Structure 1
Amino acid sequence: MTPVRTTLDPAAEERLAGLEEEVRADPGTVARAFARAARVVGRGPGPDGLPVQDVARVRLLVAATRGAGPDGAAAVAAELYRTGDADERRAVLLALEALDVGDRAVPLLLDALRTNDSRLVAAAMGPSAAAHLPADAWRHGVLKCLFTGVPLAVVADLTARRDAELDRMVAAYAAERRAAGRDVPDDALALLATTP
């Protein structure tokens, strides 16, 4: 779920409104606003369990790209992702669904899934991945969650996209873990328990 419409506490909302006004007036300031967001709006858990800084950055990116069209929004998102730290990259990934950039998001999702940063992997396996990643890349994303300890609960549309090939891959992963004398993650066991 994308935190775009999530409301913060009144003080944080007021500070965020100032930043949103800046980027709406001059979208070219979004990178600076993105970097300042956590200092201006705050850090820590926010509503719906989403970090306050993620909520702020998603809303800033949406504000900056309003009216830019899918190509323009994708270009801004790609640049913020390229130049951002891990927290900023996570926020870009969380914003992809709200930006409605379609399969233009795929390169960012694939890049995040090549990392071993569980925060990026979790953010990458949201609704944009479910809607736009090719089947093989999506399956490898699910396995990456298992490898990095990301709960499969974060994988959007897991039940809908699950197929026999994913079940085979998870079974092979579990067999390799057992053969090496290692525990199989509970999420993998739960998935295998429901294999037809």
Structure 2
Amino acid sequence: MTPPPAPRTEDLLAALGQEWPADARRDIAADPTTLARHFASAGRRAGRAPLPDAPGWSADEAARAVLLAALPPDAVAAQVTDLYRGGDADEKRAVLKALPLLPPGTETTPLLHDAIRTNDTRLVAAALGPCARHLDQTMWRQAVLKCVFMGVPLAAVDRLEERADAELAGMLAAFAEERAAAGRHVPADATALLDHLTGENPGRPAGEKET
């Protein structure tokens, strides 16, 4: 199982079905300093319900993402970093999920590293979405192992099967041995991935749980 592709800005706007984000986007395009005000009020104005037409997104996340995408290119770097650093967990996650909507070349790696260092499972999972392509292989492997340790479903990891390699298999095998010695279980999706990488069950896609 793989995560759904990152939606386009217009897809999120349609899924929201609200008028105020379009007005706010015009404000932001004209004056980027208005973003902070609109971003902070997004939870109250959009609500926090899941969006049926945008799987994996809540209304506040989608609203914040489309607001960020309205920034003029020369304002993106500073605004995104400031909003992430000063945000609460919900706002940080919205920033991470919005990164694929931002102009190519936007510096994302420091934010991804920060999220992966946290103990917030939602931030770790968000950091391993489409923008995880910016992580080098060493950091990416460590982040995947952290997902396993924290119980984050591996279905959240973008390009898992493509990037998983023998070194990750060795890390998972060592983790499984430690768990077994402690009498603790290994998540089913991690076992499936290890089996896939070692050829013990090559017919099962990496990350897919056994039924």
> What's the offset of the Cα at 1:193?
1.5
Alpha-carbon spacing, 1:9–1:120, altered in 2? closer, same or farther (3 Å):
closer
- Residue by residue over 1:11-44, the C-alpha shift from the partner in whole angstroms, topping out at 9 and shown as x without a partner, is xx21222222221221111111111001112211
Q: Amino acid of the residue matched to residue 32 of structure 2?
A: P
Q: Amino acid of the residue matched to residue 41 of structure 2?
A: R
CA RMSD, aligned part only?
1.5
The answer to whether the Cα contact below 8 Å between 1:37 and 1:56 also exists between their aligned partners in 2 is: yes
The total of aligned residue pairs comes to 189
Greater relative contact order structure (CA < 8 Å, 6+ sep): 2
**Aligned residue in 2 for 1:85:** 88
**Aligned residue in 2 for 1:124:** 127
Unmatched 5+ residue regions in structure 2? Answer: 200-211
* Percent identity between the two aligned chains: 50
Report the Cα distance in structure 1 between the residues aligned to 2:145 and 2:81, rounded to whole angstroms.
25
**Aligned residue in 2 for 1:59:** 66
Counterparts of 1:77-156 in structure 2 under 5 Å?
Answer: 77-102=80-105, 104-129=107-132, 131-156=133-158
- Residue by residue over 1:154-178, the C-alpha shift from the partner in whole angstroms, topping out at 9 and shown as x without a partner, is 1011111111001110111111111
Unmatched 5+ residue regions in structure 1? Answer: none
- Residue by residue over 1:91-116, the C-alpha shift from the partner in whole angstroms, topping out at 9 and shown as x without a partner, is 11111121135472111000000011
The answer to whether the Cα contact below 8 Å between 1:103 and 1:132 also exists between their aligned partners in 2 is: no
Report the Cα distance in structure 2 between the residues aligned to 1:24 and 1:83, rounded to whole angstroms.
21
- From 178, 190, 198, the equivalent of 1:188 is 190
Secondary structure of 1:43's match?
coil
The answer to whether the Cα contact below 8 Å between 2:16 and 2:59 also exists between their aligned partners in 1 is: no
The TM-score with structure 2 as length reference comes to: 0.84
The answer to whether the Cα contact below 8 Å between 1:45 and 1:52 also exists between their aligned partners in 2 is: yes
